Chains A and B, each alone.
Chain A
Amino acid sequence: MGSFQILEHTGEIGILAYGNTAVQAFSQAARGMFSFMIDLDAVEEHEVRHVEAEGPDIEALLVAWLNELIYLFDVEGLVFKSFHVQEMDDTHLKALCYGERLDVERHRFSIGPKAATYHMLEVKKESEASGWRARVILDI
């Protein structure tokens, strides 16, 4: 399944995401981002959105993926709890994202990120044993 960790900086936050596969790491990165914004446990999966992202390499793809979710948050007020990545290679991904519209109170909303950045960006397979690790800094 994988996991994530939030790193706190003065003006930004960083997400470290782990997974056995790149798909898992990407899902965990998205979960990590939303976990910083809201209480993930309070989100119900009433809505689903089909999301596509692309980039010149797998790292830029991670930035594009998170920025698509930020766009949906801003335009439709949607927060997502789980992600089913249907297709993914180094430059392209398609996913179904499950969540609902933001309820500031019920979801204990803290802050919305402005964007995912290329700063300290890293996506790599560390080893067969430890799997994939992704790191991305968000401007908040």
Chain B
Amino acid sequence: MTSKWEKVLRRIDDYRWEIPMDYKEGMLVPGIVYADDKMIKKIKEDQSLEQVANVAFLPGIVYASLAMPDIHWGYGFPVGGVAATRADDGVISPGGVGFDINCGVRFLRTDLTEAEVKSRLERLVETLYLNIPTGVGSKGKIPVKRDRDLDEVMTTGAHWAVAMGFGDPEDTLATEEGGAIAGADPRAVGQKARERGLPQLGTLGSGNHFLEVEAVDEIFDPAVASVLGIDQVGQVTVMMHCGSRGFGHQVCTDYLKIVEAASKEYEFLLPDRQLASVPVNSPEGKEYLGAMRCAANFAWANRQCITHWTRESFQQVFDKSWRELGIRQVYDVAHNIAKIERHKVGGKDMELCVHRKGATRSFPAGSGAIPAKYRDVGQPVLVPGDMGRYSFLAVGSGMAMEGSFGSTCHGAGRTESRGGAKRLLKGRDIQQELREQGIIVRAHGGWASLAEEAPVAYKDVADVVEVCHNAGLCKKVARMRPLGVIKG
């Protein structure tokens, strides 16, 4: 496998590699992979490059099938992929968004320092663990009993949560799409998705979803950090990573079935069934977009509720209001989503359907799509690492607009399967090892849950962010390290 890619991959520059269009008949554009020398060696070992090439078959795709440095092999589309198709006559592909629609990250800042939190860390983690429903079978604490309520969640997202008393209007201003993406159509969402969604609203989930209390470890750009609310090393922050739960999974499952059947009628030649697509402008395409947006809004409502319980937990432990503690939202990003956006392609302004699967939007300073208070510095980009290492705060850059439709990486990217990780860590007391590093972890799923998500199972996110920074996809602002983690 490695030798095949030696002959095929062509180096473009320090951080970009091309899979030429003639690699495989049917590719409509080349593949472009962002990586450094060390990373590209590992990337060549699995099937991700083949998947990047396969995505290039999508009818209406423009410029290139893109891969971010955290790329890994997925099902159909690689994880860490970006693909933009012409919105007028190109396709939309539910697999290009993924099952966990609007899996994303939210980042909060506080006025607390690590020194102030240290003595109450154990109690804080315990309180968060009790207040935030986590893990399989956990039920949300929110009174969403009627379909009508769920319709409002689907159309107004985070605003619904704020109206219910979960959080502050300022939070929605600091969320991608203002906390709810327009064009959500509850009629496009099936009964099964509703049944899965209703009890799961307001839950963190499991697997690689988590909430962590962090301390700022290093500030790379103090001026920009200050605009984002990050003022000093040792400052305590909170990062959460979760998505649309069973609601989103079912929406994707339902539409893959519909789109898969419909795509035969359009006679698209696609090398992988999981790449099933329909024209953006077809009835199925419009319905999928309408349903996908419902799921995206569900996820934003979800993260909004969790934000509220996070603030409540801090209030309980520190005996001060969240406002007094300065717990404000920095930003919230989606990293599994499809958006209709305008971009320049070959000098021409085009309306595109941009699929980001395991990739984060990274818009630069001056962009009208980002909150006014950030317009001078760029859109905040949130990159979680694995639970034992660190996470990053960055901002969007202009070069991302040119090179990747304003996109960057989303996280560390797995290197080991779950079973592989468990085998590597057999017999080790992971919770204790993390405690010795000063990190308190509470996991619903016990040892297995920790082993599967341990650092050994992931790429080093610092390497991933470094490549994105050097390639101009985003600019590093700060690095945070975990103090306490809760997960399913």
Contact = CB atoms under 8 A, between A and B. Distances in A.
A-B complex is real: yes
Interface of A: 6, 8-13, 55-56, 59-60, 63-64, 67, 70-71, 74-75, 77, 102, 104, 109-112, 114-121, 137, 139-140
Contacts of A104: 135-137, 444-445
A11 B72 contact: yes
Nearest to A121: B273
Given A121-B273, A139-B99, 19 more contacts: A10-B414, A11-B72, A56-B261, A59-B273, A63-B257, A64-B257, A71-B250, A74-B249, A102-B137, A104-B135, A104-B444, A112-B136, A115-B249, A115-B253, A117-B95, A118-B276, A119-B273, A120-B75, A140-B207
B171 interface: no
B417 A67 contact: no
B57 to A, nearest CB: 15
Given A10-B73, A11-B73, A117-B75, A102 B418 contact: no
A114 B415 CA distance: 20
7 contacts: A6-B419, A8-B420, A10-B72, A60-B257, A104-B135, A104-B136, A111-B418
B99 A118 contact: no
A91 to B, nearest CB: 11
Contacts of A10: 46, 72-73, 414-417
Contacts of A140: 207, 418
Contacts of A139: 75, 98-99
B76 A115 contact: no
B149 interface: no
B448 interface: yes
B169 interface: no
A4 B262 CA distance: 32
Given A9-B73, A11-B79, A115 B99 contact: yes
A53 B146 CA distance: 27
B274 interface: yes
A118 B137 CA distance: 26
A114 B137 contact: no
B259 to A, nearest CB: 10
Contacts of B472: none
A117 B272 CA distance: 11
Contacts of A77: 137
B55 to A, nearest CB: 13
Interface in B384-433: 414-420
Contacts of B249: 70, 74, 114-115
B417 A74 contact: no
Interface string B102-141: 0000000000000000000000000000000001110000
Most buried by B among A56, A59, A75: A75
Interface in B239-286: 246, 249-250, 252-253, 256-257, 260-261, 264, 272-274, 276
Interface centre among B73, B252, B273, B416 (most CB of A within 10 A): B273
